[in-house]
Structure 1
């Protein structure tokens, strides 16, 4: 389910993800002052906030924008997206916890052997205890 959620969400606006940096290079300070990002990207100024699927002016002239355009619809979609990201985060956290529990169970199972063992590190919430076993030669 985690993989399916990741494939649906694409993690485009995930929290904690570094924002994309779009760098423009100029020769003079005058060019910097006169720079219009909407004209450079060939899109409407209202659509500059979109980090993905930003239509050009030609696309806007040819056909209307598909999907949600009303603010109420956009807010509803944002809420749904946020809840899906929360669900994904919870599932990843649950999977990590289950992995730690499985490691702890495996460690306890390994401790049932009658070989000599020495504790190297104590058990914590995030990882099982680490033991060093005496090497036993196979004959």
Structure 2
């Protein structure tokens, strides 16, 4: 009996699902049963979850206590999360915030020094050359106006007329020994100068952000001082500016 079953199993034909006919090939792959089972299971799981959430929403008691009631507050129509500081003592929190303030102050000082160094190297010459100003020349007759030559009057080369900064005279140019510079070297120098201006712009933005963070930390430190009277908030803080508080004037002895 067992040998007959084995023989029947070996002679059993494997039935395969048909593929997409050639006339319907433009519609894509034909969905097989295993694909349908996966899609159907996913659909029914989502329907079951939606039904469960609907039931929970209907059965929910609006007066029921939940922890977010005491972990958040609404101030001036704006929602705030209350920071959890139970795991540290007040002295530890004060020390950590003072260390953060020192770190931000140090970083801001470093950025300010780098900005000054870059500005001293670049001198902002390009910005000075782009400033629109006037240079008035006085002449005695109409004939001088017609024959007026700006380069000759300024005693410089015509190519240097747009350079308001570092415009040497012809006598100085004749005595100067200039190296042979081709267009490739000029392009490299221009690219390096442009990169330095981009770096300067980024460092100025970073120094501004560090300044805002420093002001926010200083205000936060003053607000934690229990000896001082609680100040009145005039303007809330934003990402571009710290909050503005007004303390009550107290005359010191």
Query: Shorter-chain TM-score: which interval?
Result: 0.7 to 0.9
Greater displacement, 29-38 / 86-95: 29-38
Greater displacement, 111-120 / 89-98: 111-120
Q: 1:124 aligns with which of 228, 238, 244?
A: 238
With a CA cutoff of 8 Å and minimum separation of 6, indicate the structure with the bigger relative contact order. 1
Greater displacement, 19-28 / 29-38: 19-28
- What is the alpha-carbon distance in structure 2 between the residues aligned to residue 101 and residue 68 of structure 1? 50
Greater displacement, 73-82 / 11-20: 11-20
The C-alpha deviation readout for 1:85-123, integer Å capped at 9, x for no partner, is 111111111111101100001111111123222111121
Aligned residue in 2 for 1:55: 168
2:151 aligned with 1:38: yes
Instruction: Report if the CA contact (8 A) 1:122-1:128 is conserved.
Output: yes
Aligned residue in 1 for 2:5: none
Aligned residue in 2 for 1:80: 192
How far has the Cα of 1:81 moved from its partner?
A: 1.0
> Which one has a larger percent helix, Structure 1 or Structure 2?
2
- What is the alpha-carbon distance in structure 1 between the residues aligned to residue 194 and residue 182 of structure 2? 18
Aligned residues: 138
Query: SS at the partner of 2:124?
Result: coil
Q: Please, which runs of 5 or more residues in structure 1 have no aligned partner?
A: none
Change (3 A) 1:52 1:79: same
Aligned residue in 2 for 1:91: 203
CA RMSD of aligned residues (A): 2.6
TM-score by length of 1: 0.80
- What is the alpha-carbon distance in structure 2 between the residues aligned to residue 94 and residue 39 of structure 1? 46
Instruction: Report if the CA contact (8 A) 2:212-2:240 is conserved.
Output: yes
TM-score by length of 2: 0.47
Q: Please, which runs of 5 or more residues in structure 2 have no aligned partner?
A: 1-113
Instruction: Report if the CA contact (8 A) 2:128-2:165 is conserved.
Output: no
- What is the alpha-carbon distance in structure 2 between the residues aligned to residue 16 and residue 97 of structure 1? 29
Aligned residue in 1 for 2:135: 22
